[in-house]
């Protein structure tokens, strides 16, 4: 799922391409993408893009109505087009009037000077599009989570300690923190040297401060990395799995800090990746799948792992 660094990379690429440009219309491939009926999509046509921003993991386009851009006289409302990419939604900048891909295409946003194509991999269609006429409606979509960038350690600690959850859940809960998902929560916890299963209220002040610093630094570093990677081009390689990551998506590989094999916890449709040496004091967490099968044979600690003959490096 695109998270803060990915969404910010999209925003930086979109602003010079569409700010001030006319909004020509939307070609919907699947009606299930659109989650609102009033105002209709047609009411935006002929308007002008006046803003591109982020609301959590959502992209928000502000469109000044035609009456505000030299169309019909008199005041016209500003509209908000809110796009949530969910897990597999991706954006592609194409030439004006570009065709929508048959298998993965969901919609085409036609603008003066180009077309923004929305695709979604897989068979499940989870991406969503809202068209709103009032700022109050936009506020209603805000989950209320704290924006980590610019936050104080005190505000960060207050948000996490308001309820008692595992750190993994707290970091990814949009009601607690804004814009962080599965990938960057793994990276933050590894940087902070904290177990994903530790409870938020069990953190002492030093651990909480370490977690706050890690969250700010990881999000900032990856945002800058993705911006530099695009280098003025439109980002086409938005993915949750990057070889430069420390632990996320690297199950079975060596931790870049200590060399221990990266482990994972499987749950629902996700996995949590971590380093036992750096984060859990050497303890291997049950993965809710293989651990149930092995039962008593499941290794509890890194030192319990039986390594094959000739294997090199730490387990």
* Domain ranges, ordered by start, for the chain: 4-141, 146-315
Give, in words, the CATH class of 146-315.
mainly alpha
CA distance 122 to 160: 34
pLDDT digits (tens, 9 = 90+) for 13-29: 999 999 999 999 999 99
What six digits make up the tokens of 271? 């996995």
| Angle between helices 4-18 and 205-230 in degrees, nearest 10 | 40
Q: Residue 290: CB partners within 8 Å, gap ≥ 6?
A: 298
Q: Does domain 4-141 have CATH number 3.40.50.2300?
A: no
pLDDT digits (tens, 9 = 90+) for 275-310: 999 999 999 887 665 444 434 444 555 655 544 444
Q: Residue 183: CB partners within 8 Å, gap ≥ 6?
A: 1, 3, 240, 241, 245, 248, 249
**CA angle centred on 110, ends 68 and 62, rounded to 5°:** 40
Residue by residue, DSSP assigns 4-20 as HHHHHHHHHHHHHHHTT
pLDDT digits (tens, 9 = 90+) for 186-228: 999 999 999 999 999 999 999 999 999 999 999 999 999 998 8
| Angle between helices 153-161 and 205-230 in degrees, nearest 10 | 110
CB–CB of 43/65 below 8 Å? yes
What integer pLDDT is reported at residue 76 of this predicted model?
56
Helix, strand or coil, per DSSP, at residue 51: strand
* Percent residues over pLDDT 70 in the chain: 87
């Amino acid at each position: 799922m695109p998270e803060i660094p990915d969404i910010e990379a999209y925003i930086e690429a979109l602003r010079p391409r569409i700010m001030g440009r006319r909004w020509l219309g939307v070609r919907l491939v699947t009606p299930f993408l659109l989650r609102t009926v009033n105002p209709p999509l047609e009411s935006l046509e002929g308007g002008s893009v006046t803003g591109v921003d982020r609301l959590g993991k959502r992209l928000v386009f502000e469109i000044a109505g035609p009456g505000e851009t030299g169309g019909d006289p008199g005041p016209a409302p500003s509209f908000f087009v809110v796009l949530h990419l969910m897990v597999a939604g991706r954006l592609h900048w194409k030439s004006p009037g570009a065709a929508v891909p048959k298998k993965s295409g969901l919609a085409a946003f036609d603008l003066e000077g180009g077309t923004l194509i929305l695709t979604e991999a897989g068979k499940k269609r989870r991406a969503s599009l809202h068209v709103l006429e009032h700022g109050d409606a936009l506020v209603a979509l805000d989950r209320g989570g704290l924006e980590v960038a610019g936050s104080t350690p005190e505000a960060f600690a207050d948000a996490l300690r308001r309820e008692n959850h595992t750190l993994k859940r707290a970091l990814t809960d949009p009601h607690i923190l804004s814009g962080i998902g599965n990938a960057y929560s793994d990276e933050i916890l590894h940087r902070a040297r904290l177990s994903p299963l530790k409870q938020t209220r069990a953190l002492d002040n030093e651990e909480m401060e370490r977690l706050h610093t890690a969250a700010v630094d990881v999000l900032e570093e990856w945002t800058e990395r993705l911006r530099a990677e695009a280098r003025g081009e439109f980002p086409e390689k938005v993915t949750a799995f990057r070889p430069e990551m420390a632990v996320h998506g690297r199950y079975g590989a060596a931790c870049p800090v200590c060399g221990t094999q990266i482990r994972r916890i499987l749950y629902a449709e996700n996995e949590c990746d971590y380093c036992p040496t750096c984060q859990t004091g050497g303890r291997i967490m049950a993965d809710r799948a293989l651990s149930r099968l092995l039962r008593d044979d499941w290794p509890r600690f890194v030192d319990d792992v039986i390594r094959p003959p000739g294997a090199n490096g730490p387990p």
